[in-house]
C-alpha cells in the first residue's frame, strides 16, 4: 500500500510530533518533563488507566518495529482493528505484542471489535488473553441498545476486556451524548 508508514517515516514523524507536543503543551506538562523531552501521561476516561497523551493506531501501521519504537518513545496507548489494511495492521500488532510480552502490562491496547461482544477470534489472532479497551464502532442509536451494558459486563467478567467503550468516524457528538447516557461506556475513541 502506497500510504503505509514505514519505520523511517515513523521516526521522522514521531520526532517532530513529540517536539511539537512538548513545545505546545506548556502548563500541561511539568517544566522537568518538557526539558527532558518526556512523554506526558494522563488518566483515560473513567478507566483510571494512565496513558500517553499521544496514542497510536490506524490502518497504515503494518510493521511491528514501528509499534515497538513508538512504545520505546513513551507511547503506551495503541488501537487496532482486524479490518485495518486487510489484517496487516493486526499482524503488526501480533508481532509487536510478542516482542513486548514482558512489558504487556504497560501496553494499553484498544481493539475496535469486528463483532460486538465476541472478541475471541481477535484475541487469538493477537496472541493475547485480553485487551485493555474493547471499543466497537457504533452510532448513537447502537449505543442506546438495552443489551449493551450486559454485553460489556460479560466481556469484563470474562477477563477478555478490562474496560469497554465506543468509537465511530462520524456523528461523534451524538455518540458522545448517547455514551454518557449509557453509563456502561467508560471511554469514547474519537477517530
Burial class (CB in 10 A: 0-12, 13-18, 19+), 61: buried
Residue 71 pLDDT: 96
Residue 170 pLDDT: 86
Residue 56 pLDDT: 93
Cα distances (angstroms) measured from residue 23 to each of 18, 19, 32, 172: 8, 6, 13, 29
Average pLDDT by consecutive 10-residue portion of the chain (191 residues)? 51 39 38 64 91 90 94 95 89 94 94 76 91 92 90 94 90 88 87 72
Residue 6 pLDDT: 53
Residue 155 pLDDT: 92
Enumerate the H helices of the chain as residue ranges: 7-24, 31-36, 64-72, 88-99, 120-126, 140-143, 148-158, 172-182
Backbone Cα Rg of the chain: 17
Residue 162 pLDDT: 96
| Domains assigned to the chain | 41-190 (3.20.20.100)
Cα distances (angstroms) measured from residue 153 to each of 31, 58, 81, 144, 158: 41, 27, 21, 15, 8
CA angle 75, 152, 164 (to 5 degrees): 15
Of the CA atoms within 13 Å of residue 25, those in its CB half-sphere come to: 21
Q: Measure the CA–CA gap between 108 and 9, rounded to whole angstroms.
A: 23
Residue 83 pLDDT: 86
Q: Measure the CA–CA gap between 47 and 187, rounded to whole angstroms.
A: 7
Amino acid at each position: 500500500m502506497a500510504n503505509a508508514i514505514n519505520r523511517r517515516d515513523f521516526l521522522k514523524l514521531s520526532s517532530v510530533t513529540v517536539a511539537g507536543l512538548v513545545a505546545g503543551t506548556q502548563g500541561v506538562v511539568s517544566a522537568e518533563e518538557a526539558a527532558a523531552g518526556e512523554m506526558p501521561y494522563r488518566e483515560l476516561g473513567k478507566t483510571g488507566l494512565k496513558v500517553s497523551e499521544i496514542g497510536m493506531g490506524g490502518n497504515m501501521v503494518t510493521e511491528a518495529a514501528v509499534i515497538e519504537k513508538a512504545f520505546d518513545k513513551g507511547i503506551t496507548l495503541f488501537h487496532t482493528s482486524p479490518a485495518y489494511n486487510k489484517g496487516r495492521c493486526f499482524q503488526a500488532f501480533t508481532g509487536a505484542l510478542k516482542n513486548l510480552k514482558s512489558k504487556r502490562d504497560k501496553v494499553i491496547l484498544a481493539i475496535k471489535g469486528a463483532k460486538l461482544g465476541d472478541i475471541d477470534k481477535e484475541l487469538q489472532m493477537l496472541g493475547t488473553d485480553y485487551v485493555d479497551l474493547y471499543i466497537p464502532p457504533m452510532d448513537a442509536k447502537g449505543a442506546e441498545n438495552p443489551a449493551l451494558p450486559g454485553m460489556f459486563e460479560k466481556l469484563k467478567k470474562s477477563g477478555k476486556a478490562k474496560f469497554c467503550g465506543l468509537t465511530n468516524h462520524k456523528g461523534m457528538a451524538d455518540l458522545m451524548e448517547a455514551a454518557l447516557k449509557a453509563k456502561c461506556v467508560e471511554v469514547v475513541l474519537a477517530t
